[in-house]
Amino acid sequence: MERLTIDTQPIEGQKPGTSGLRKKTKVFMQPHYLENFVQSIWEGIGGVEGKTLVLGGDGRYFSDRAAQVILRMAAASGAAKVIVGQGALLSTPAASNLIRKQGTDGGIILSASHNPGGPDEDFGVKFNNPNGGPAPEEVTNRIFEATKTIRKYHILEAQDLDLAAPGSHDLGGMTVEVVDPVADYAELMEELFDFDAIRAMISGGFRLCFDAMHAVTGPYAKEILERRLGAAEGSVMNAVPQPDFAGGHPDPNPVWAKELMEVMHGADAPDFGAASDGDGDRNMIMGPGMYVAPSDSLAVLAANAEAAPAYKGGIKGVARSMPTSRAVDIVAERQGLDSFETPTGWKFFGNLLDDGRVRLCGEESAGTGSDHVREKDGLWAVLLWLNILAKSGKGVVELMQDHWRTYGRNFYSRHDFEGIETERANALMDDLRVKLADLPGTTVSGRAVEAADEFSYTDPVDGSVATAQGIRIYLDGGARIVLRLSGTGTTGATLRVYLEDRSEDPATFDTDVQDALKDVSAAAHEIAGIEHHTGRTEPDVRA
Ligand code: VG1
Ligand code: CO
């Protein structure tokens, strides 16, 4: 096998965003595009010589090709070993687990998460550190710098390896070990949760429905929920991963998880419904006729985590991304837990978890997780919910209502305005920045502005600083508006407007969320001039 050194030129725009580099698949398929980025990863992590890496992803279109290229490039640069999920499949949390469990030097995850897949849709590449978590900004900055100066990359000339079956291969002196993507992960889940209690609940007649959305969690959910926990066959739907997710958006929210919504709002709804995203790190939780907002889910999990064996001794602290509602802060305050507010993106939780300051974290975008891995974890959240339900004997609806009665309710919704011209979106944020200092003391749509700022975060563990992480506007009565631009999109800009209002009056708890947030939404439109800047009056998605 010959080791080739290929001449190349820097390609613009290879800057990793909230979660790795995401582009249209066709962009990734351009000559040298993937290779440039992968060589820059090697550069950014100080080379791969003698190192062991994990490789896998959500199985989207182009993953099989990309995996072969990455293996040949790792071999050409002297890596000792790459552990690959069978069929190049690994959910993001399972990849994180393998990286940690095998003590490897990190891993590469091929995914664009909840974005659609296919030749005309999205692809993505992300590097995770030896702790199993997404590379922090210090590393992604080095990778980006390398993409700007790259002149050569190294690749082995070799035949494709057979990744379809478990086993060991030699690739120019590097070992490629193909492993069952599910086994280690399922074992970890058995260690964390009381499977006996969940099994007993299910055999007692508790019914559930899990929508894998034709994405990577299908085989995981089949093994864990149906085989190990005894849920009826067919409880997991859309369970076979497909390269284009059957043409859908594998995004677990009320808009895209329509099939699950219909089941859970149907006459014969099961007791519990859930869905996960393309790469298995997000979760959506439902009870019969009820959608549980991710921010509420985080608060409920924090309040009840001790039901699971893994969290019996307490969870010490919790962290949430800044736009996530403050429902979990109230739980932390009442239970004497430390709480942290971090920028959007899982990479900012890594140090807090590594340092033992928090055990649970979450984001409003349907991400929840703990210190068992260093990624958010969809099936983990499902299992923690099931464990809590099994121990408490309550249903989802009852548990949620009890929670609100105890802690009050934080009404919450995110409004997304998609496909805005980048300059117009930037102009909206720039104008807002200029206005911030003058907002406190004014009244907008009947609500008094108490404070306003742009969020900067200083990591309490290593002192690193992240600036310009979104604008926060605090209104009277515990309401808040947050505005930021998405860092995961592949076309134009997406403006995210996060709305929150608080009530402690049980008579209001059943109010429709959008109705409850009407005046906060009106205030957001007025303050940010959304129509003026974007021409839009209505969002594309209300999550
Ligand atoms: C979005 C979410 C963020 C999440 C990120 C990656 O980022 O808002 O909370 O961590 O996606 O999730 P942004 O920058 O578009 O708002 V996933 O499931 O794509 O790995
Ligand atoms: Co995801």
Q: Once rounded to an integer, what is the mean pLDDT over residues 233-238? A: 97
For atom 5 of ligand 1, which residue has the closest CA? Answer: 345
What is the residue type of 177? E
For position 489, what pLDDT does the model report? Answer: 78
- pLDDT tens column, 316-374: 999 999 999 999 999 999 999 999 999 999 999 999 999 999 999 999 999 999 999 99
Instruction: Provide residues with CB under 6 Å of ligand 1.
Output: 18-19, 113-114, 277, 281-282, 321, 344-346, 363, 365, 367, 486-488, 496
Q: What pLDDT score does 491 carry?
A: 81
**Beta pairing partners, 81:** 52, 175
Which residue out of 90, 348, 365, 374 has the highest number of ligand 1 atoms within 8 Å of its CB and is therefore the one to mutate?
A: 365
pLDDT digits (tens, 9 = 90+) for 370-414: 999 999 999 999 999 999 999 999 999 999 999 999 999 999 999
- Beta-strand ranges (E) seen in 214-315 are 236-237, 272-276, 283-287, 290-292
**Closest CA to ligand 1's atom 17:** 113
Residues whose CB falls within 8 Å of the CB of residue 19, separated by 6 or more in sequence, listed in order: 113, 124, 126, 134, 345, 346, 347, 487, 488
178 forms beta bridges with 84, 167
How many angstroms separate the alpha carbon of residue 410 from the centre of ligand 1? 21
Label residue 239 exposed, middle or buried (CB < 10 Å: 0-12, 13-18, 19+). buried
* Residue 488 reports pLDDT greater than 90: no
Q: How much is the average pLDDT of 245-269?
A: 95
Q: What is the residue with the minimal CA distance to atom 16 of ligand 1?
A: 486
Residue 37: is its pLDDT beyond 90? yes
Kindly indicate the confidence band of residue 108, based on its pLDDT and cuts at 50, 70 and 90. Answer: very high
Query: Which ligand does the CA of 115 lie closest to?
Result: 1
Q: How buried is residue 103: exposed, middle or buried, by Cβ count under 10 Å (0-12/13-18/19+)?
A: exposed
Tell the residue nearest (CA) to atom 13 of ligand 1: 486
Residue 470: per-residue pLDDT: 97
488 CA distance to ligand 1 centroid (A)? Answer: 6
Residue 442 identity:
T
What CA–CA distances, in Å, run from 69 to 33, 38, 55, 58, 451? 11, 9, 12, 17, 51
Is 490's pLDDT higher than 90?
no
The pTM of the whole model exceeds 0.90: yes
Active site residues: 113
Ordered by where they begin, the domains of the chain are 2-180 (3.40.120.10), 185-407 (3.40.120.10), 409-542 (3.30.310.50)
What is the tens place of the pLDDT at every residue in 274-318? 999 999 999 999 999 999 999 999 999 999 999 999 999 999 999
Cα-to-centroid distance, 491 and ligand 1 (Å): 15
**Poorest-confidence range of 414-418, 440-444, 487-491?**
487-491
Query: Is residue 150 a contact partner of residue 4, using CB atoms and an 8 Å limit?
Result: no
Q: Is the pLDDT of residue 105 over 90?
A: yes
Distance CA 253, CA 275 (A): 8
- The answer, yes or no, to whether residue 1 has pLDDT greater than 90, is no
Nearest one of 99, 162, 180 to 134, comparing CA atoms: 99
> Using CA positions, which residue lies closest to atom 11 of ligand 1?
488
Ligand 1 atom 3, closest CA: 345
pLDDT-above-70 percentage for the chain: 100
Q: How far apart are the first and last CA of the chain?
A: 51
Which runs of consecutive H residues, i.e. helices, occur in 408-529?
Answer: 422-435, 513-516, 518-528
How confident is the model over 33-51, as a mean pLDDT?
Answer: 98
Residue 344 C-alpha to ligand 1 middle, in angstroms? Answer: 7
Q: Is residue 517 within 8 Å of residue 472, measured between CB atoms?
A: no
The overall average pLDDT reported for the chain is: 96
Tokens in use for 366?
């349907």
Q: Burial code of 104-125, b = ≥16 C-beta within 10 A, e = fewer?
A: bbbbbbbbbbbbbbbeebbbbb
* Dist. CA 90 → ligand 2 center (Å): 12
Instruction: Using the predicted structure, report yes or no on whether residue 18 has a pLDDT greater than 90.
Output: no
* pLDDT at residue 17, as a whole number: 87
Ligand 1 closest atom vs CA 346: 10
Question: Using 50, 70 and 90 to split pLDDT, how confident is the model at 107?
Answer: very high
**CA dist., res. 485 & res. 429, Å (int):** 8
Query: What is the residue type of 447?
Result: R
In angstroms and rounded to an integer, the radius of gyration of the C-alpha atoms of the chain is 23
- Among 91, 322, 484, 488, residue to substitute to test ligand 1 (most atoms within 8 Å of Cβ): 488
What is the side-by-side order of every strand in the sheet holding 81-89? Answer: 21-24, 122-128, 107-110, 52-57, 81-89, 174-179, 167-171
Query: What's the whole-number mean pLDDT along residues 145-173?
Result: 97
Average pLDDT estimate for 171-179: 97
Q: What is the DSSP letter of 57?
A: E
How much is the average pLDDT of 151-158?
A: 97
Question: Which mutation among 15, 18, 412 tests ligand 1's pocket best, with the greatest number of atoms within 8 A of CB?
Answer: 18
d(CA 500, CA 523): 12
% of the chain beyond a pLDDT of 90 = 97
Identify which of 119, 113, 127, 116 has the alpha carbon closest to the alpha carbon of residue 37. Answer: 127
Nearest to 429 by CA among 470, 474, 475, 480: 470
List strands edge to edge, sheet with 283-287.
236-237, 208-211, 272-276, 283-287, 290-292
